[in-house]
Amino acid sequence: MVMDINEIREYLPHRYPFLLVDRVTQLTIGESIVAYKNVSINEPFFNGHFPHHPIMPGVLVIEALAQVCGILGFKTVNKLPADGYVYYLVGSDKVRFKRPVMPGDKLTLEADVIKGKRGIWKFACRATVDGELACEAEIICAERKVA
């Protein structure tokens, strides 16, 4: 275990129901991260998406990937939200969904740094379930100081 939920909460300002990372299993500062989200039927979005065929919304899969990008960014520059910083999701390119994510799935989230310059980071991301690709995307995040 590299980061448990308590340490993740230090690096992400998100809280229930929007904290979408349960554990970080691998992290190489400035390079890559692997984490996961256990998808439970108790997630609030399943009440409406879709009641008789529950599927995790694709935008939340992208959000989960962006959150692991934020962790990697914060770790790389040695900053925390408590220091007054936040990582914003500012773009996504080449987004493709390959399979639905459903209750009971363990969603593995991977991100590799493509480049980082002056607080803007671009990542190559993949979300998989049991080794099967669920989503791939390039995600751009921006580090910002907040008041």
pLDDT tens-digit profile of 53-75? Answer: 999 999 999 999 999 999 999 99
**What per-residue confidence (pLDDT) applies to 19?**
98
Judge whether 46 lies within some domain: no
pLDDT digits (tens, 9 = 90+) for 98-109: 999 999 999 999
H-state helical runs in the chain: 5-11, 58-77
Catalytic residues: 49
Q: What angle do CA 7, 75, 110 make, to 5 degrees?
A: 85
Looking at the 3D structure of the chain, how many domains does it have?
1
Tell whether pTM > 0.85: yes
For residue 106, what is the domain's CATH number?
A: 3.10.129.10
pLDDT digits (tens, 9 = 90+) for 1-13: 799 999 999 999 9
Quick count: other Cβ atoms within 10 Å of Cβ 31?
Answer: 11
- Residue 23 domain boundaries: 5-41+54-145
Judge whether 69 lies within some domain: yes
Lookup result for tokens 């992208």: 62
Lookup result for tokens 């990542």: 123
